[in-house]
């Protein structure tokens, strides 16, 4: 679940930012929670957990740069996006508070989505959950839906005859109804890559690649299709460079 806090003392600007955020996260099928504040001090007093902070710079009570500094002291890993009508403050925000980015008012949906997706790529998978529907576990217990941390998922294996996917974790395997192509597209940004037809593997669980085989950190060996090997190695190298 991604925790987001938005603070702007202009109610119309606040509502507009929240509307865009809802559209982005619903479209991406990512679990999220948004808290909104018209008061900077109220925000600082009430935030207990935060992954993304979206702050107006020019607030009368306490400007966004000071708010960002205080958030950084309490939550060092928070990603900050500033929204402002005054571009001259933007470099100060980036240099002083190490803001992730800034956006100018009025907010543009496309630019906001681009920044949010870049922020999400920088958040560890263990902070991100995905909900799966019509799920059965290894003991045949059925669930309407379950939420799983992406970090815990080793790989998916599509069961074509049943139009289901096996979700393989370290000590459990679930099956859920899914459209495999849609699953691939949704998880691409979180470093899940197709290694062969019907297999989608989490790069963070790969210990090594040898020939046309992947060796996972639980000892499992998975194949790589010959036509995918070059692209798969490229994606793996990019992943290792980002996380080195």
Tens of pLDDT, residues 96-117? 444 557 788 888 888 889 888 8
Tens of pLDDT, residues 11-27? 999 999 999 999 988 88
CA-based R_g, the chain, Å: 21
What is the pLDDT tens value at each position of the chain, 244 positions in all? 688 999 999 999 999 999 999 998 888 767 788 999 999 999 999 998 899 999 988 787 777 888 888 998 888 888 899 887 765 555 554 444 445 577 888 888 888 898 888 888 777 666 688 889 999 999 898 989 888 989 889 999 999 888 899 999 988 999 999 999 999 999 988 999 999 999 999 999 999 999 999 999 988 999 999 999 999 999 999 888 877 6
Non-local (6+) Cβ contacts of 148 within 8 A are: 129, 130, 132, 167, 169, 174
What would the two tokens of residue 233 be?
């190695």
Place of tokens 């979700």: 167
Q: Which residues pair with 80 in a beta bridge?
A: 53
What would the two tokens of residue 7 be?
């603070």
Contacts by 102-107 with C-beta closer than 8 Å and gap 24+? Answer: 102/57, 105/13, 106/16, 107/13, 107/16, 107/17, 107/20, 107/83
What secondary structure letter does DSSP report for 70?
H
């Amino acid at each position: 679940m991604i925790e987001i806090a938005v603070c702007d003392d202009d109610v119309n600007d606040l509502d507009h930012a929240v509307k865009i955020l809802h559209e982005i996260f619903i479209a991406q099928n990512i679990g999220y929670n948004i808290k909104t504040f018209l008061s900077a001090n109220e925000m600082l007093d009430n935030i207990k957990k935060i992954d993304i902070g979206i702050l107006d710079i020019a607030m009368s009570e306490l400007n966004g740069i000071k708010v960002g500094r205080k958030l950084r002291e309490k939550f060092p890993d928070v990603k900050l996006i500033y929204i402002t009508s005054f571009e001259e403050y933007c470099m100060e925000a980036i240099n002083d508070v190490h803001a992730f980015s800034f956006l100018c008012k009025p907010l543009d949906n496309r630019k906001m989505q681009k920044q949010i997706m870049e922020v999400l790529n920088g958040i560890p998978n263990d902070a991100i959950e995905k909900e799966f529907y019509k799920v059965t576990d290894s003991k045949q217990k059925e669930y309407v839906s379950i939420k799983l941390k992406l970090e815990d998922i080793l790989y998916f294996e599509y069961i074509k005859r049943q139009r289901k996917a096996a979700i393989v974790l370290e000590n459990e395997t679930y099956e859920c109804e899914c459209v495999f192509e849609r699953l691939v597209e949704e998880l691409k940004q979180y470093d899940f890559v197709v290694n062969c037809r019907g297999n989608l593997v989490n790069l963070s669980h790969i210990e090594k690649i040898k020939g046309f085989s992947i060796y996972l950190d639980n000892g499992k060996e998975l194949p790589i299709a010959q036509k995918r090997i070059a692209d798969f190695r490229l994606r793996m190298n990019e992943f290792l460079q980002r996380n080195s």
